[in-house]
Structure 1
Amino acid sequence: MNVTSTLPKRTKENLTPDSPDLDINDLVKSASRAIAPLWPIATFAARNPWMGLERQSFEQVARWLKDTRDVEIYPSFSMIHAAQNRGEIDEAFLKMALQRWLDSQSLDLPREVAERFCRAALKRDDLPSNLLATPGLKCLVEKLSDLEPLDTEKHSLKPLSLCLEKQGGERVAHTLDHHLIKWCKLFLDESQAAWSLPNREEGFYRAWHRLVLYDPALSHEQRQRLKDWPQEANTALKEALFALEIPHSEIQDYLEAHLISLPGWAGMMLWRSQQSTQENSLLTEYLAVRISLEWALLKPYLPLPKQKNEDKVPLVPLIAAWAHWGDLPIQAWSQLSSTEQKARLILAYRFDEMTTRRLWLEAWEQTHADQLSEMIRSKPPVSGEVKPALAQFVFCIDVRSEPFRRQLEKAGPFETYGMAGFFGLPIETSELGSEHTHSSLPVILKPQHRVKESSSAFELKQYEQRRQAAHSLNYTFKTMKQNLLTSLLLPEVSGPWQSLQMLARSFVPRSAGRAFRQLREAWLRKPSTELSLDHMHTSETELPVGFSEEEKVHYVRQALRMMGLTNHFAPLVVICGHGSYSTNNPYASALDCGACGGASGGFNARVLAALANLPKVREALATEGISIPEDTVFVAAEHVTTLDELHWLYVPRLSEPAQEVFDRIQAALPKVSHDANEERLSQLPNFESCPKNPKAEAHRFAEDWSEVRPEWGLANNAEFIIGRRELTKECNLGGRAFLHNYDWQEDQDGTLLANIIAGPATVAQWINLQYYASTVAPHYYGSGNKATQTVTAGLGVMQGNASDLLAGLPWQSVMQSDQEVYHAPLRLLVVIEAPREYVERLVDHDPAFRQKVQNGWIRLANIDPEGYWESWS
C-alpha cells in the first residue's frame, strides 16, 4: 500500500542501480510513513502506530496489514461477543450500520435477498467442515470459474523472503529477522553489553559491512556474496533492489513491507534518525542492511516461481457461505443465471469477515456514544444556589484525573478544571545538582526554555557530594554486573545485602519500600530550592534559561485562557501535575504522563503557579481584563495516580483566606484519596470487592516489585470531551474521559478550539490508538506478557532474546485475564460543546483533523448550546 502518489510505472528491465531518477532517500522517507517512531522505554510516550497512514481509511490500512503481515486490527469476535454480553453493543445500531453498508454497494440482487444473507453472516459462526467437503462442490467451482473475474483488489507486495516461506520453502524471512535483531541490538545498545560494537561511530551500515564477513551465523557462501558489496548504504540498497528485480514502481511498497516486518526496531531507527543530523540516514542504512542480507540469503532460490492464481478469489468458501447463511443449497446454483450467480459471489466476497468486524465495531462505538449522550442529558439539574468555590483545582486531562476530580468536588465547594498537563509551558527541566535535562512537554513539541532548580552555594555543594556518592555506588554496581570478570565476584560481595532486600521486598513490600525510600531521602537531604524564572543569557546553541517579562505574562495568560479560568478566582488555585510510582517496572514511565515521554507534570505545575503569583504578571494581566484578587494564591501539587494522593510541591506564604481553604483541603484529602482508591482498586482483577484499607493496598501495589499491574494506567479511555465542567459534572464517567475545559463564548474566532484539537486532542488520539492497537494485536503492536519480557540494550523490551523491539503495552495493561479484555478497543470519540458553526469552521480550516474524521481514525460529536447531540462522519 503506497501512502504517496503512485510513481511512474517502470519495468525491471530498464531499472539499474545508478538510474538518475531513482532517489532512494526520498523513497525511504515516503516508506517510513508505514511505521511510527519508537522512543526508548525510559522516556515512554504513547504513539499512534498508524500516524503516517491517516491519508488512507482505517479499513484500507486494516486490509493492507492483514494481506501483508496477517495482522488483524479490528476487534476479534470473542471481544465483540463479550462486549455484547455486557450490554455494550445495541443491535439496533448494528442493523443501522448494515443498512448504511448495503446502501453503499451496487449489487445485482434484490435488497431483501442481500439483507437476509448479510444479517445471517453477521454472526460469523464457522462454516461447517462437512459443508466444505460436500460432494459436487468442487464440480460447481469448476463450472463457476468461467465467470468474469470478481472485482478483486491487487494483493499487497510482500518481501520475497516471506513469499518463499509462504510457498513452502526455507524459513528465510525468519532467519532474516533473526539477523537484523542481532545487529540492531549491537548497534543501538546503551552501554549494557560488555563489549560494544566496533566502528559504531561510522554508522549502522558501515559497522555491519566491516563485520558481516566474519559473522559465523552466515554460511561461507553467504559471506562470499557480500564480500564485494558496496560500502555506501544508498548504493548497497539500490544494488540489492536491482538484484532482487524489484520494479521501480514497486520499490516504495517493497520498502514499506520490510519496515513493517520489524516495526519496533525500524521505529527505533526512525526515532534516532529524527534526533540528530549525524544519524538522519539511519533508516536508509537499516534497509540497506536488511535487503542486502535478504539478497544474500535468497540468492540460491532466485528467481522465485510465481505463485499460481495469486489474485484469484477462492470460490469454495463463497459458495459454502451462501449455503450456510443464505439458505442456498449447492444444487440450487444450477437454477440461477450467470448474472445471479456472479452477484451472489460478489456479495459474499465483499461481505467478508473484516467487513462484519467493521460493522460490529461501529455499532459498539455508536452504542457507547449514545450511552454517553444519554448520561450527559439525563444528569440531575443543579438544585439550590451555587456557592462560590473556595478552591479551584487545575488537573491534567489524563483520564485518571476524572475519578479523583469527581471525589474532590463531592468533598466541598471546590471547582476542578482540565487542560493539558504541561500547562502550556514549553520547557525542559534541570533538577538540583543534575547536569541532565528532561523535556517536560508532549513529544510532539520542542522545548523553548530551560528552567533550573537552584539553592545556596553551600547547600548545593553538600547535596551534590551526597548525590554523587549515591550515583557512584549505583554506577559501580552496574559496571561490575556488566563486566565479564567482576560479575563473577559480585554475588559474593553483594549477596547478603541483595538477599535481605529480596526477602524484605517479597514479604513486606510496603514497609520495605517505605524504609528504603526514607533511607535514601535521609541520605540525600535535598534542600529547599528556587526556580530560575528570570531570563538569563546563554549561548546561541543553548535554550534560554528562564523567561522574559513578556513571556511570563504570555504563558500565564495562555494557560488561564486554555483552562477557562479568567474570572471569579477562588482564594486558592491549585495547579496539579500528575505522576506515578511503582517498583521494578520497565513501564514506569508509561504510567506518568502518556504524552510527555515519562515526565510528570509536577515541575510544570510549580513553574506556572510561581509565575502566576508574580505581582508584575498580575498587573499586566489586569490591564487585559484578567484581574486576579490580591488574596488569591496559586500553589502546586502532584496527583500520584498509583496512590490517588495529592502531594504538595509548592506552597508559598498564604493569605488568610487561602490558609483557611488550604486547611480545609488538608482535612478533606484523606477521604478523597480513600474513595478514589476504593473505586480504582475495585476495577483491578485482583479484587472482587475493594479491600478494607484501600490506602494501604494502593501503597502495597506501588512498592511490590512482583506486581505486574500497579494500576490500569489510561486503559479504557474512550472519549475526549471539550466543554464546560458543568456539562459533565455529576456524571460518573468511569475514568474513561479526557476532560478539557472550554467555553465557546470566550472563543469568538475559534482559536482556542483549534489549539485544543491540534495539541491535546492529537495527543489523546495517540494514547487511544496505542491502547487500541495493543489490545487488538497484542503480539504485533503490544508487548506480550510482562512477566516474560527481557529489557534489552537499555532501550526497550523483547520477548526472549530474539524478538522485535516491542513497541506497545503489555497485555497486563489492557487485559483483565488471558481471555477477558479490560480495555474496550474503541476509536476516540471527540465531543465538542459549541454551536455547530464552530465545528464546521474547525473541520473546514483543519484538513488534518477533517481527514482523521472522514477516514475513521477518530469519531466526532457536537453538543450545541441547546443540548442537541449530533454525530459527524
Structure 2
Amino acid sequence: MGGTSVLIKENVKEDTSIIHKESDINVLIEAASRVIAPLWPISTFAARNPWMGLENQPFDQVAEWLKNTRDIDIYPSASMILSANSKGEIDEDFLKINLQRWLDSHSFHIPRDVAEQFCRAALKLDPIPSNLLSSNKLDKLVEEISELNTDNIENSPMQPISSRIENQNGERLVNILDHHIIKWCKLYLDESQAGWTMPNREEGFFRAWKRLIAYDPALSKNQRKSLKDIPEDPHIAIKKALSVLEIPESEIQTYLEGHLLALPGWAGMMLWRSRQSSHEHALLTEYLAVRISMECALIKPYLPLSNQQSEEKKSITPLLAAWIHWGDLTTEAWSQMSAAEQNEYLSFAYSFDENLRRKLWLEAWEQTHTDRLSQKISSKQRKTNEKKSTLAQLAFCIDVRSEPFRRQLEKEGPFETIGIAGFFGLPIATNELGSKHSHPSLPVILQPQHKIKESADENELKSYQQRKQAVNSLSNTFKTMKQNVLASLLLPELSGPWLSLQMVARSFAPRRADRFIRNLRENYLRKPDTRLSLNHVHNTETEIPVGFSEEEKVNYAHQALKMMGLTDNFASLVVICGHGSQSTNNPYAAALDCGACGGAAGGFNARVLAALCNLPEVREKLSFESIEIPEDTVFVAAEHKTTVDELHWIYVPELSVSAQEAFDRIEAIMPKVSQNANADRLAQLPNFYSKIKSPRAEAHRFAEDWSEIRPEWGLARNAAFIIGQRELTQDCDLEGRAFLHNYDWQQDESGDLLANIIAGPGTVTQWINLQYYASTVVPHYYGSGNKATQTVTAGLGVMQGNASDLLAGLPWQSVMQSDYEAYHSPLRLLIVIHSPNEYVERLLKNDSALREKVQNGWVRLASIDPEGRWENW
C-alpha cells in the first residue's frame, strides 16, 4: 500500500533525486520517525499512542499499511470478535447496516445478491479450509488465469534488504542484524545495571560503536574490516551505505521506516532520548547509521542482489478459494466465466479482505458500546441544575479506577464527587524530603514550570537525612557488589541467610512480611512533618523556579477550581484526592501509579493544591474572581490507593467544626466503601474466588504478594471519556470503563475550558486507550508478552529473553483474562461532551488535531445537549 510514506512525504521536498546535504538526510529521518513513538523508561512508564505520528491518515489506511509492511493486524482478531459476540457485546444489526453501507459505496459488476451472500458468509470469520487452499483442483484453476488484471494489488513497500536474504544455515540476515543492534543498544543505553559502562560513551552512540566494532568477536574478520572503514560522521555513513545498497532515492524514506519498524522499542527509546537533551539530539540518526552500516556489512557477500519480483498469482489462490468456500461457487461455474467476469469476482474478494471484515465487526462493536452507554445515561439522567446540600466534596482523578470508588462513596452519604485530571493543573516537579533529585509530577506531554520542595526543621532534617543515607548506602553497596566481578563471588555468602529468610517470608506470608519490612523501614526512617516551598525563591541555581509567585498561587487555584466546576456552593470539607497504586516486585508499578504522569502518584499535587486553596491571601484574591470560599471551608488532601481501594490522608490541617464533622463521617464509612469497592473490583480478576470472606484482606494480599502477576487490572476495558456534570452519570454503573471529567458548559461561554480539557486530558485518555488497544490486538509487537518470562534490562524496560526488542506496551496480564481470552475490549475511545451542539461545532472548527482524529477514526465523538439528546459526530 505504502500510504503512510506517500502522505508523510508531502512534508518533504519533491525533488529528492540527489541527497547532497546533511539536512536532506535529517529531513528524511524526521519524516520516517513518525512511524514509531517515543518510549519512556519503564520506571517512568507513560502510556503512549504507538501511532501518534500517523493520525493525519485514516485508521484503516494505517492498518492496511502495517499489514503490508510488517504483517501486523491492528484490528481485533477473529477469536476476540467472536468471543465478544458470544458474550452479547456486539449487536449484529449494526454489522448488517455497516455491510449495506459498504456495498452501497462501492461499484462492482457482479449481482448484488451474490455479493451480499459472499459477504455475509465471510463475516462469520471462519477460516478457509487448508485442504481447499492446497488442493490440486484449485491449483489448476489458478494456472488457467493468465490475463488477470492485478493493477489494484499493490506491491509491498521497501523493507530492509537483509529481510530478503538467508545465510547458509537458513537464518534470515535481518534476525542476525537485530541481534547485533539489540546488543549495542543495551550497552549504550544502560545507566544502572552494567558494572562496566560502554567505553567512549560520551562521544555518542555511533562513534562509541565504531571504536569497538572492529573487535567484536561475533563478526567475521571481513565484516569487522568492512565496518572499520566506514566514515566517522553518521550522516556520511548513511549516505555511503545507501549508495552501496543501491537504494533508489524515491525509496529511501520507506527503507528508513522499515529499519525503524524492525525494532520499534529500541528505536522508540532512541527517539525519546534524542528529545531529552541537546547532547543526544542526533541519537536516532546515529542509531540508523549503526543499523544500516551493519546491514551493509552483513549482506556484502551476497551483492549484487538479483531482482526478486513477487509473483502476483500467489495472491489469487486465496481469493478463488474464498469464492468457493463462502460464495458457494463451483469450479464448473467458474470455468464458464469470461476472463473479465473472473477479474470482477477476484477483485471483489480482494476488496472484501480480512482487514475489512474485521473493521466492520470492530465498528459494530463500538456502535453497540455507544448505543448502550447512551441508553444507560439517558435512562438515569437528572437535571443538571439540581443543587443539593453536601457534607463534603471530593475531587478525584479522571482515571477509570476512580469511578467505581466514587460510586460506592456516593451511596454512603451526601457526598459530591468531582472528576479532574489528577495532577490538578499544577505543572510542578516534586523534590521530596531528603532527596537531591526532583521528578516531574504531571502528564508527560507537559513540562514542569515550578519545583516544589519538602522541608522540615533543621535538626529533624539532618537526623532524617543521616538515616536515609544509611539505608541508601546499604542498598547501593549491595548493588555495587552484585555488579563487581570479584565482589559478586563473595556476596552470596554475606547476603544469603538474610535473603533466604526474606524469600521464605515473602513466599509463605506475603502480607505479614511486606507489612513487617515496610514498618521496619518507616519506623527507622521516622520521616518528620514537612512543609512545602510554596513561596517563590529568588536567585536559585535550579533550571526552574522554586515555589510560586503570589499571582501564580491565585492563578493555579483559580484554574483548578474552574476546571472542577467548583466555584460556588462549597461544602465545609473539600478533599483533593490524588491516586497511586501499591504492588510488590512489579516492573510495571509506574504504569499502575499513573499511566499519564510517568508513574508519579498524585498525592503530592493534591497536597499542594489543598494548601494553596487554604491560604487566606489566595482566598481573598479569588473573591475578586467571583469565587467566594466560606471561612469554615477547609481543603484537605488524600490519595486513593487503587490496588486496595483505600483513601490515605496526606494533609489535614486544623479543621472547622463542620469540616471535622464531615471528616469524621468519611472516616466512619470508609471501611464499608473500601470493602464494597474491593468486592466489585476483585470479582473481575481471574484468580479471585467469591467465597473469600474479606475482599479487603485479599486486595492487600494482591498488593503485597511478590509473586502476584496481576495485582489489579489497571485501566483495562477503558472505552469512554465523559465530559460533563456528575449529575449526568451519577446513578449509572459505568463498570470502571469511563474517564470522568467535570464540565459545566454554562460556565464556559468562550469554550476555552472545553478546549483545554480536550487538549490535555483528552489527549492523555486517547493515548491510554490506544496503548491498551495496541497491547491487546498486537501483544507480540506493541505489548510486552508474558510478565512471568520478562527480563528487566539496562534499567530501561523489559525484554522477552536476553535479546528481544525493548518491549513498549503492557504485559498480557494487564489485558488478557487468560492465554486465549482478552479481558480488555479493544475499542477506540468514545469522547462524550455534555454541551449544546454549537459548542462541539466550535471545538471541531478550532481544534484541527481533534477534527483530524475524529475524521480519520482514531477517536469517536458524541455529544449530549442540554435537553438530553444524544448525537454521534
Residues in 2 aligned to 1:497 and 1:350: alpha-carbon distance in whole angstroms: 65
Q: 2:669 maps to which residue?
A: 668
Cα distance in 2 between the residues matched to 1:725 and 1:165: 61
Deviation for aligned residue 1:803 = 0.5
1:10 and 1:248 in contact (8 A); partners too: no
Whether the 8 Å contact between 1:42 and 1:795 is mirrored in structure 2 is yes
Q: Is the 8 A contact 1:10 1:249 kept in 2?
A: no
Cα distance in structure 2, aligned partners of 1:124 and 1:504: 50
1:396 touches 1:420 (CA, 8 Å); kept in 2?
Answer: yes
Cα–Cα, structure 1 residues 310 and 184, in superposed 2: closer, same or farther, change >3 Å?
farther
Q: What is the match of residue 365 of structure 1? A: 366
Q: Which residue of 1 aligns with 2:763?
A: 762
Which position in structure 1 is the counterpart of 2:735? 734
Q: How far, CA to CA, are the matches of 2:371 and 2:477 in structure 1?
A: 58
Matched residue, 2:437: 436
SS in 1 for 2:9: coil
CA contact (8 A) 2:374 2:870 kept: yes
Cα distance in structure 2, aligned partners of 1:437 and 1:135: 69
Aligned identity (percent) is 69
Hey, what does 2:854 align to over in structure 1?
A: 853
How far the C-alpha of 1:167 sits from its partner, in A, is: 13
Superposition deviation, residue 170 in structure 1: 4.3
Deviation readout 1:309-330 (Å, 9 max, x if unpaired): 3556621211121111112212
Letter in structure 2 aligned against 1:83: A
Deviation at 1:379, TM superposition (A): 2.0
Deviation larger for 325-334 or 691-700: 325-334
- Contact persistence 2:382–2:728 (CA under 8 A): no
Residue 192 of structure 1: how far off its partner (Å): 1.1
Match of 1:99 in 2: 100
Quote the residue 2:224 is aligned against. 223
What is the match of residue 331 of structure 1?
Answer: 332
Distance 1:389 1:9 in 2: 64
Q: Whole-Å Cα distance in 1 between the matches of residues 86 and 579 of structure 2? A: 35
CA contact (8 A) 1:155 1:311 kept: no
Written as runs of structure 1 = structure 2, the 5 A alignment for 1:602-617 is 602-617=603-618
Confirm or deny: 8 A CA contact 2:384 2:725 kept in the other structure.
Answer: no
Aligned to 1:598: 599
Q: CA deviation at 1:134?
A: 4.8
Sort the Cα spacing of 1:132 and 1:228 in 2 relative to 1 into closer, same or farther, 3 A.
closer
Tell me, what secondary structure is at the counterpart of 2:247?
A: coil
Query: After the TM superposition, which residues 443-842 of structure 1 pair with which residues of structure 2 at under 5 Å, given as runs?
Result: 443-539=444-540, 542-689=543-690, 691-842=692-843
CA shift for structure 1 position 168: 10
Q: 1:150, 1:346 within 8 Å by CA — same for their partners in 2?
A: no
Contact residue 833 and residue 862 of structure 2 kept, 8 A: yes
d(CA) in 2 for partners of 1:615, 1:560: 16
Residue-by-residue CA offset, 1:689-710 (whole Å, 9 max, x unaligned) = 2621111111111111111011
| Secondary structure of 2:159's aligned partner | coil
Decide whether the 8 Å contact of 1:159 with 1:254 is kept in 2: yes
Q: Tell me the CA shift for residue 666 of structure 1.
A: 0.6
**What per-residue deviation string (whole Å, max 9, x for no partner) do you get for residues 145-179 of structure 1?**
31333422342211111122599964200000000
Q: 1:384/1:200 Cα in 2 relative to 1: closer, same or farther (>3 Å)?
A: closer
Matched residues in 2 for 1:608 and 1:664: separation? Answer: 23
- Letter of the 1:56 counterpart: Q
Q: How many Å separate the matches in 1 of 2:14 and 2:840?
A: 42
For residues 387 and 869 of structure 1, the distance between their equivalents in structure 2, rounded to whole angstroms, comes to 26
Tell me if 1:23 matches 2:24.
yes
The SS at the match of 2:678 is helix
Residue type of the alignment partner of 2:84: A
Distance in 2 of aligned mates of 1:870 and 1:172: 53
> Structure 2: 5+ residue runs without aligned partners?
none
Is 1:198 the equivalent of 2:199? yes
Deviations 1:108-130 (A, max 9, x none): 22322222211111112122334
Residue aligning to 1:374: 375
Q: Residue 381 of structure 2 contacts residue 729 of structure 2 at CA under 8 Å; is this kept in 1?
A: no
CA contact (8 A) 1:10 1:247 kept: no
Given the superposition, is the C-alpha separation of residues 9 and 576 from structure 1 closer, same or farther in structure 2, using an over 3 Å criterion?
Answer: closer
Deviates more, 1:601-610 or 1:374-383: 374-383
Give the Cα–Cα distance (whole angstroms) in 2 for the partners of residues 480 and 28 of structure 1: 42
Label 1:380 to 1:870 Cα distance change in 2 as closer, same or farther (>3 A). Answer: closer
- 1:65 alignment partner in structure 2: 66
Q: Answer whether contact 2:835 2:863 (CA < 8 A) is retained.
A: yes
Distance 1:502 1:53, change over 3 A: same
Cα 1:796–1:374 shift into 2, 3 Å: same
Q: Helix, strand or coil: the match of 2:214?
A: helix
2:236 aligned partner: 235
The answer for the alignment partner of 2:262 in structure 1 is 261
Change (3 A) 1:516 1:33: same
Q: Aligned to 1:52, what secondary structure does the other structure show? A: helix
List per-residue Cα deviations over 1:283-322 (Å, max 9, x = no partner): 0000000000000001111232222335566212111211
Alignment-mate amino acid for residue 67 of structure 1:
N
The alpha-carbon deviation at position 425 of structure 1 amounts to 0.2
Give, in whole Å, the separation in 2 of the partners of 1:269 and 1:384. Answer: 51
Match of 2:8 among 1, 4, 9: 4
Q: Equivalent residue for 2:210?
A: 209
Cα distance change of structure 1 residues 117 and 166 upon mapping to structure 2, 3 Å threshold: farther
SS at match of 1:59: helix
TM-score w.r.t. structure 1 length?
0.97
In 2 relative to 1, CA 312–562 (structure 1 residues): closer, same or farther, beyond 3 Å?
A: farther
Partner of 1:866: 867
In structure 2, the CA distance between the partners of 1:658 and 1:84, relative to structure 1 (3 Å rule), is same
Cα deviation 1:84-130 (Å, max 9, x = unaligned): 01000110011111122212212122322222211111112122334
Aligned to 2:294: 293
Query: Separation in 1 of the partners of 2:100 and 2:287?
Result: 47
Task: Please identify, of 208-217 and 325-334, the stretch whose mean Cα deviation from structure 2 is larger.
Answer: 325-334
Query: What is the one-letter code of the residue matched to 1:244?
Result: L
Q: CA deviation at 1:481?
A: 0.8
After superposing the two structures, state which structure 1 stretch, 523-532 or 370-379, moved more. 370-379
2 CA distance for matches of 1:309 and 1:380? 59
Residue 246 in 1 paired to residue 253 in 2? no
Secondary structure at the residue paired with 1:218? coil
Answer whether contact 1:440 1:601 (CA < 8 A) is retained.
yes
What is the number of residues matched between the two proteins? 868
User: Secondary structure at 1:151's aligned position in 2?
Assistant: coil
- Is residue 2:354 matched to residue 1:350? no
Shift of 1:140: 3.1
Change in CA separation of 1:404 and 1:166 when aligned onto 2, cut-off 3 Å = farther
Query: Is the CA contact (8 Å cut-off) linking 1:505 and 1:705 kept in structure 2?
Result: yes
Distance in 1 separating the partners of 2:823 and 2:774 = 14
Deviations 1:486-517 (A, max 9, x none): 11111111111111111111111101111111
Unaligned runs of 5+ in 1: none
Deviation digits for residues 668-706 of structure 1 (CA, Å, limit 9, x no counterpart): 111000100111111110124262111111111111111
The amino acid of 2:654's aligned partner reads R
The one-letter code of the counterpart of 1:26 is V
CA distance 1:10–1:647, change in 2 (3 Å): same
Structure 2 CA distance for aligned equivalents of residues 505 and 728 of structure 1: 42
Counterparts in 2 of 1:29-48, with a 5 A limit? 29-48=30-49
Amino acid across the alignment from 1:214: Y
The residue type equivalent to 1:471 in the other structure is: N
Range with bigger deviation, 162-171 or 808-817: 162-171
Distance 1:9 1:300 in 2: 34
> How far apart in 1 are the matches of 2:283 and 2:311?
35
Q: Output aligned runs, 1:40-189, within 5 Å.
A: 40-134=41-135, 136-165=137-166, 170-189=171-190
Q: Distance in 1 between matches of 2:509 and 2:84?
A: 38
Task: Answer with 25-34 or 515-524: which moved more.
Answer: 25-34
